[in-house]
Chains A and B, each alone.
Chain A
Amino acid sequence: MWKINDKGEKVFSLGKEAWQEAVAVASVCTYFSLDDDDELVSEEERSCYNCRYRRWIPESFVCLK
């Protein structure tokens, strides 16, 4: 699910369209915090894709926690 990039950051290895997996990960994450409404992209609220600690990168996102 995760890989470490050359900057030592934790990258979600399934990309930007793994909706169910992003929900599954967020469901057990103690750091999850919902981002501003304007930045939400997943219909399922509790998803890594909606988390304020995700930083979008071209192919996926980096988890900042």
Chain B
Amino acid sequence: MRILVSIDDTDNLESRGTGEIASLLAKLLEEQEWGKAQVITRHQLLVHPDIPYTSHNSAMCFAAEIKEQHFEEYLQIARQFLAKESAPGSDPGLCVVDLERLKNEVELKEFAFKAKKIVLNKEEAYEVAAKTGAYLSEHGGEGIGVIGALAGAGLRLSGNDGRLRGKLKVNAPTRLITSGEIKQQSGVEVVHSTEGQMIEDDELIYLGETIKAVMLDGRTTLLVFPNQTEDAKWQTCTKNYLKQF
């Protein structure tokens, strides 16, 4: 079965980040040989004075294939793990969506995109979770991480939000590499320009300091923009540009 696992608000200023916790949750699934996790995406939620986030208010989510007989056990372990690993003072939330049993998908996505624009509360999150069949739980503090956790799942489901956790692994000593080689080495599915132009596999790209992918149209995507030099027609985007995703 295919699931989404999303978490939010597990950290404090000094602790490891929510991304690392998500990574450990994904690893746990694979170590038990219960399934295989896909990339982790980071989803930016609303920054607002009425929302008590730690420093940036982002949720982390991954999709996974899991053997059905291990689903309940994994859910149990994930709950315990989150309760144990979350930092003091945090308000962790966990959302797990069984994609085959998901109802009212549109409502989940609507909630998710609303969480990027307006202040939502826990009651609204639980209401949407009940309508959609998403599993939602809180694990300490005020538990308001359930809002971001549910939103993170909806945003991942949309396929059009978030940047991938970590940097793409690409080996190019000269910093010049073709689009096709990038896809082959990193596993990124698509390379296209910030204007939406597909980059052919034989086109050269200059790798900047940041080689990060984003999620667009349900595919892991490396965005590039026109390069000013003659070496390559394209170059990877800066962190500053990518922060909008």
Contacts and interface: CB of A to CB of B under 8 A. Distances in A.
B is a partner of A: yes
Interface of A: 19, 35-43, 52-58, 64
21 contacts: A35-B17, A36-B17, A36-B19, A36-B20, A38-B17, A38-B166, A39-B17, A40-B239, A41-B243, A42-B240, A43-B238, A52-B13, A52-B55, A53-B13, A53-B55, A54-B55, A55-B54, A55-B55, A56-B47, A56-B55, A64-B55
A63 to B, nearest CB: 11
Nearest to A53: B13
Of A35, A41, A64, the most chain B CB neighbours within 10 A belong to: A41
Contacts of A37: 166-167
A43 B239 contact: yes
A21 B240 CA distance: 15
B19 A38 contact: yes
A42 B48 CA distance: 22
Contacts of B167: 37
B165 interface: yes
Contacts of A35: 17, 55
Q: Which 7 pairs show the lowest CB-CB distances between chains A and B?
A: A36-B17, A41-B243, A55-B55, A38-B19, A56-B47, A41-B239, A38-B42
